[in-house]
Amino acid sequence: MLALFENDLALVRFVEPADLRLLRNGVPWDIWHPWILKAWLRGAVVPKAFTLLRRIPSNMIEKAVDWPASLQTEFFAKLQNTGMLPALPKLDASAISPWMRWDEVRPHFLDFKENGAKEI
């Protein structure tokens, strides 16, 4: 994972075949959210997009660890909306320029929303 963007977009480097892809709805939040919550409890380093801008009481995080995935997703959205987590950047040419050219985005776009990976 190279970068996350708003609207559930992620820039990912694949090993086989060696390629970059822009994924929509391809981030496994049901796995990531519990991992991030547990990392916060341990005081571990997390990706920049999940570095808290203000402290959250540990008892609140402990409760969130046991919540179902849908509630954890709402919890993270609320943290972003209230400014406790940084907002994810918009997808634009400057945001992806370290990895690919803007004109390369469309042919490297995959949508996981419907039936697995579907190139657009």
Q: Give the model confidence (pLDDT) of 49-108 as tens digits.
A: 899 999 999 999 999 999 999 999 999 999 999 999 998 889 888 888 888 888 888 888
Tokens of 104: 């390369």
User: Pick the residue with more confidence: 116 or 8?
Assistant: 8
Average pLDDT, the chain: 87
pLDDT score of 29 more than 80: yes
**Is the separation of the CB atoms in 25 and 8 below 8 Å?**
yes
Nearest residue to 2 (alpha-carbon basis) of 21, 18, 16, 17: 21
Question: What is the number of structural domains in the chain?
Answer: 1
pLDDT value of position 110: 82
Domain interval for residue 74: 3-119
pLDDT value of position 113: 67
pLDDT value of position 30: 86
Phi, psi of 43 (to 5 degrees): 75, 20
pLDDT value of position 120: 43
pLDDT range class, residue 116, cuts 50, 70, 90: low
Judged by DSSP in three states, 81 sits in helix
Q: Give the model confidence (pLDDT) of 1-26 as tens digits.
A: 888 888 888 888 887 777 888 888 88
